[in-house]
Amino acid sequence: MNYAQFYKNALLTDVIPFWEKHSLDTEFGGYFTCLGQEGKVYDTDKFVWLQARQVWLFSMLYRTVEQRESWLNIATSGAEFLKAHAMDSEGNFYFSLTRDGTPLVQPYNIFSDCFAAMAFAQYSKASGEGSYATLAKNTYKNILQRKDNPKGKYEKGTGNRNLKNFALPMILSNLVLELEDVLVEAEIRQTIDFSVHEVMEVFLQKESGLIYENVLPNGNVHDSFEGRLINPGHGLEAMWFMIDIGIRNNDQKLIKRATNTMLRILDYGWDKEHGGILYFMDAKGHPPQQLEHDQKLWWVHLEALVALAKAYEQYPDENIKQWYHKVHDYAWSHFPDPEHGEWYGYLNREGKPHLTLKGGKWKGCFHVPRALFQCWKTFERIEQL
């Protein structure tokens, strides 16, 4: 099978046209992301994560696939909407807005800001508009300022059990590479060193070989619901961020460790009964709090494919190849909707869609096309060898 061609086709003849056709808000700018099975808009609220991610995606396509004017226009629509509506007076990004840009949910964490910074940096490169580079840089500085207390007054913890969360160092390890043209090398280096250390030395536990979602400040595990939580998809996604950093820094040791870790996570997170990768697990095998723990999510499988493709490019060995085939076969036989296009997001444990939406509060134009693009380009290099 020619994977490069397969992934390219899926991206350019199915997924991107789906979002071009259904998601554009030509009246207020930005995007509809709540799209039913056939692409029909069922809710018009705008979630800042997803607005920013779609700006990023179309800017990236314009820069790296083809300079289609329509792609840049789509990115512009979202970038201007975000700039006009998504920031509070202190430069923090709201979580959600109404269709016309009225703020709905406060900036109660810094993930909206992370995706906005990614979006502005990429859009600045696509459009050539320097003001967006400045915006990206300011947003990034604000993220760093808030990173030790990301929830501010919305933090519900008393401080008596100080667990730190994996999501932030993980996102920073990807964001910083997105900001290569915006930051100076010393700044990049500092955040890379911080996030690689956190991901590989603090959250990755030597004994189990797994990444924990929440650990004590000293990196030890904690026997509580949060402390036992494993999110295989997060771990897998982080491993391809590590490989990207390893390639940038020519750090073969990091690439090797990331590869071994992803194989360990896959082995642990694979559902031996029904196939697919589980969403949440408890490291001690206790019942997780998340009622959706045994569902199969689109992004988890896509990030696994990207991680495996990148690992295989570095180490073309049989075990990685087998895993790639296994995840590829599961994903492509369960998630895509051949009739109406794009992918289902949420399968039950047995692999049947239990929500037929193509987009919602958390699923937008991001994981599917980003992964298809990454797999296409990675296999293009592999298959040319």
Distance of alpha carbon 166 from alpha carbon 280, whole angstroms: 14
Which of 6, 28, 225, 332 contacts a second copy by CB under 8 A?
225
3-state DSSP assignment of residue 327:
helix
With binding defined as CB under 8 A, does residue 224 bind a second copy?
Answer: yes
Residue range at the interface with a second copy (CB under 8 A); choices 18-26, 91-99, 181-189, 246-254: 91-99
How far apart are CB 349 and a second copy at their closest, in Å?
A: 7
Which of 104, 201, 267, 325 contacts a second copy by CB under 8 A?
104
Which of 164, 340, 361, 377 contacts a second copy by CB under 8 A?
361
| Contact yes or no for 22/32 (Cβ under 8 A) | yes
DSSP-derived secondary structure letter, 288: P
Angle between helices 185-197 and 167-178 (to 10 degrees): 150
Distance of alpha carbon 200 from alpha carbon 242, whole angstroms: 9
Binding mask 124-143 for a second copy (x = CB under 8 A): --------------------
**Which residue's CB is nearer to a second copy, number 103 or number 209?**
103
**Which residue's CB is nearer to a second copy, number 12 or number 216?**
216
| Contact yes or no for 381/12 (Cβ under 8 A) | no
How far apart are CB 357 and a second copy at their closest, in Å?
A: 4
Distance of alpha carbon 286 from alpha carbon 271, whole angstroms: 16
359: buried, middle or exposed (CB in 10 Å: 19+, 13-18, 0-12)? buried
3-state DSSP assignment of residue 250:
coil
Which of 2, 5, 67, 102 contacts a second copy by CB under 8 A?
102
- State the number of binding residues for a second copy (CB under 8 A): 43
Site for a second copy in 177-216 (CB under 8 A): none
How far apart are CB 337 and a second copy at their closest, in Å?
A: 14
3-state DSSP assignment of residue 97:
strand
Tokens of 348: 């039950």
Please state the separation of Cα 41 from the chain's center in Å. 23
| Contact yes or no for 334/296 (Cβ under 8 A) | yes
**Which residue's CB is nearer to a second copy, number 326 or number 354?**
354
Which of 13, 356, 381, 383 contacts a second copy by CB under 8 A?
356
Please state the separation of Cα 270 from the chain's center in Å. 20
Binding mask 265-304 for a second copy (x = CB under 8 A): -------------------x-xxxx-xxxxx---------
How far apart are CB 190 and a second copy at their closest, in Å?
A: 31
Residue range at the interface with a second copy (CB under 8 A); choices 94-102, 131-139, 207-215, 229-237: 94-102
Distance of alpha carbon 74 from alpha carbon 369, whole angstroms: 15
Which of 26, 130, 153, 250 contacts a second copy by CB under 8 A?
153
**Which residue's CB is nearer to a second copy, number 36 or number 209?**
36
3-state DSSP assignment of residue 31:
strand
Distance of alpha carbon 265 from alpha carbon 321, whole angstroms: 16
Phi-psi group of 288: left, alpha or beta (phi > 0 → left; psi -120 to 50 → alpha; rest → beta): beta
Which residues of the chain form contacts with a second copy (CB under 8 A)?
34, 36, 42-43, 45, 94-95, 98, 102-106, 108, 153-154, 156-158, 160-161, 223-225, 284, 286-289, 291-295, 346, 348-349, 354-357, 360-361
